[in-house]
């Protein structure tokens, strides 16, 4: 025995029939109510309520030629820095009556290009991507569709797309200069994977020009708490004794902090620790993490305003540089010239 058939979802024609008006009149009530007489509007609204009619976004897109959504491609949702960026991006797009659809790329250019094509196929009116290194297929898609597209998390005024972001090399230099200014000369640098990540590569370029008398030892790790823990164990096991660890991500720095404390290394008395990102939790570690603030929320707002202006008014945005800022907390301390680093 079969149950009753599910009720068919009401459409514009059903509403028009119930209200005794034309489909065009129902459409005007939904989209331009000020052009319809009050008495007619009330009849249509009553029919909508009775039929529990919900306007179809697909139908609106067919009628208007607009989907009113923007696609964003980010490496991951596991890192709070992308969550903060996307929250600001979505909130600000909403001010322009635009919606956001997000896809993750796992820092794989091939996956990014395929997912960009999927977003375009379902009607994305613009794209926001991370960084400036992409597969040729993505570049060709943007060019072929003449699609508004903005690159974020990177400032490169000569790049083919408008960029809205920060100078990653300058942000890393700011962190390094803080440590060298405190007298640290033997510094371990922990960073995420370099493959397919131009932000990490740019930060490393900023670090590797440390100058005479400064020894920098680089350690690659997965960007996670456990990755930071693993990197700390490698640093402590190495023959060279460092006085400071600089991490190119606060997530890595948090893992390093946990492992140093587990190994009985006091931060900052025996080892200074520096981050880069300024994630919300970094102010609440013990000790609080000295870091470089990246203005990702402002970047999300700026990217939203820029892509909205391009989509709505065909106004191509200019590159926009956001300045990083040093945030001093308790995880770094001046290095005594006689101090050779953490005692193992």
Note the pLDDT tens digit of each residue in 114-158. Answer: 999 999 999 999 999 999 999 999 999 999 999 999 999 999 999
pLDDT single digits (tens) 248-292: 999 999 999 999 999 999 999 999 999 999 999 999 999 999 999
Q: Which two tokens stand for residue 28?
A: 């005007």
Give pLDDT, residue 344. Answer: 45
For residue 62, the model assigns a pLDDT of: 54
b (16+ CB within 10 A) / e for 61-93: eeeeeebbbbbbbbbeeebbbbbbbbebbbebb
In a domain, 3, yes or no: no
**What's the CA gap between 198 and 159, in Å, rounded?**
13
Residues 173 and 286 in one domain: yes
- For 303, the domain range is 69-167+295-323
Distance CA 25, CA 62 (A): 17
Q: Burial level of 323, CB count in 10 A (0-12/13-18/19+)?
A: middle
Looking at the structure, do residues 251 and 265 belong to the same domain, yes or no? yes
DSSP letter string over 56-83? -HHHHHHHHS---EEEEEES-SSSHHHH
pLDDT at 313 over 70: yes
Contact between 41 and 52 under an 8 Å Cβ cutoff? The reply is: no
Residue predicted with more confidence, 228 or 210: 228
Quote the tokens at residue 320.
Answer: 């926009």
For residue 188, the domain's CATH number is 3.40.50.2300
**Alpha carbon distance 278, 275 (integer Å):** 7
Same domain, 187 and 267: yes
Residues 163 and 89 in one domain: yes
What is the pLDDT, as a whole number, of residue 12? 81
Instruction: Kindly state whether residues 315 and 289 are assigned to the same domain.
Output: no
User: Does residue 336 lie within any of the structural domains?
Assistant: no
pLDDT score of 337: 60
* 43-52, 184-193, 331-340: range with lowest mean pLDDT: 331-340
Q: Is 252 contained in some domain?
A: yes
**250 plus 209 within the same structural domain:** yes
Domain for residue 93, yes or no? yes
Q: Regarding beta strands 186-191 and 215-220, do their DSSP bridges make them parallel or antiparallel, or are they unpaired?
A: parallel
Contacts of 244 (CB under 8 A, 6+ apart): 179, 182, 184, 186, 187, 188, 271, 272, 273, 274, 332, 335
**DSSP label of 156:** -
- pLDDT, tens digit, for every residue of 16-37? 999 999 988 988 888 778 888 9
Point out which residues pair with 217 in neighbouring strands. 188
Same domain, 140 and 184: no
Whether residue 126 sits in one domain with residue 207: no
- What average pLDDT does this structure show over 317-330? 98
pLDDT at 32 (0 to 100): 78
Instruction: Give per-residue burial for 104-114: e unless 16+ CB within 10 Å, then b.
Output: bbebebebbbb
Both ends of the chain: CA-CA distance in Å? 75
Among residues 63, 40, 48, which one has the least CA distance to residue 18? 48
Task: Write down the pLDDT at residue 335.
Answer: 93
Measuring CA to CA, which residue among 282, 265, 260 is closest to residue 328? 282
At 300, the pLDDT band (50, 70, 90 cuts) reads very high
Average pLDDT over residues 101-118: 96
Structural domain includes residue 196: yes
State the total domains in the chain: 3
Q: pLDDT band for position 105 (50/70/90)?
A: very high
23 domain-assigned: yes
CATH number where 26 lies = 1.10.260.40
* pLDDT for the residue numbered 319: 98
Question: Do 94 and 241 fall within a single domain?
Answer: no
Angle, vertex CA 321, rays to CA 246 and CA 308, nearest 5: 125
CB atoms within 10 A of CB 60: 16
Please check whether residue 337 lies inside any domain of the structure.
Answer: no
119 and 226 belong to one structural domain: no
- Residues in CB range of 138: below 8 A, 6 or more apart: 109, 112, 113, 116, 129
Q: Residue 260 to residues 292, 331, 342: CA-CA distances in angstroms?
A: 21, 12, 9
CA distance 12 to 54: 9
User: What local confidence, expressed as pLDDT, does residue 1 receive?
Assistant: 44
Same domain membership, residue 286 and residue 301: no
If asked whether residues 194 and 114 sit together in one domain, one would say no
């Amino acid at each position: 025995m079969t149950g009753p058939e599910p009720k068919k979802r009401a459409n514009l024609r059903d509403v028009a029939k119930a209200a005794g008006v034309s489909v065009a009149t129902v459409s005007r009530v939904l989209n331009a109510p000020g052009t319809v007489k009050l008495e007619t509007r009330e009849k249509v609204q009553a029919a909508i309520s009775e039929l529990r009619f919900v306007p179809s976004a697909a139908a609106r897109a067919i009628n208007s030629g607009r989907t009113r959504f923007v696609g964003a491609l980010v490496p991951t949702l596991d890192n709070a820095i992308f969550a903060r960026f996307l929250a600001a991006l979505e909130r600000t797009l909403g001010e322009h009556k635009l919606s956001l659809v997000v896809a993750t790329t796992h820092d794989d250019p091939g996956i990014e290009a395929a997912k960009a094509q999927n977003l375009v196929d379902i009607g994305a009116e613009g794209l926001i991507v991370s960084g400036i290194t992409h597969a040729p297929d993505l570049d060709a898609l943007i060019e072929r569709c003449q699609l508004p597209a903005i690159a974020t998390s990177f400032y490169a005024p000569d790049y083919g797309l408008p960029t809205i972001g920060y100078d990653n090399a300058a942000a890393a230099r700011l962190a390094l200069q803080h440590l060298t200014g405190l007298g640290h000369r033997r510094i371990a640098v922990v960073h995420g994977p370099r493959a397919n990540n131009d932000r990490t590569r740019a930060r490393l370029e900023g670090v590797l020009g440390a100058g005479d008398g400064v020894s920098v030892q680089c350690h690659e790790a997965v960007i996670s708490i456990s990755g930071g823990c693993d990197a700390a164990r490698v640093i402590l096991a190495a023959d060279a004794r460092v006085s400071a660890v600089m991490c190119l991500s606060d997530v890595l720095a948090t893992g390093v902090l946990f492992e140093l404390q587990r190994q009985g290394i006091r931060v900052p008395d025996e080892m200074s620790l520096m981050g880069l990102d300024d994630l919300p939790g970094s102010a609440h570690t013990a000790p609080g993490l000295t870091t470089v603030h990246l203005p990702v929320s402002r970047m999300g707002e700026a990217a939203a305003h820029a892509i909205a202006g391009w989509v709505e008014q065909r106004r191509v945005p200019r590159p926009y540089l956001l300045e990083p800022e040093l945030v001093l907390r308790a995880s770094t301390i001046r290095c005594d010239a006689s101090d050779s680093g953490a005692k193992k």
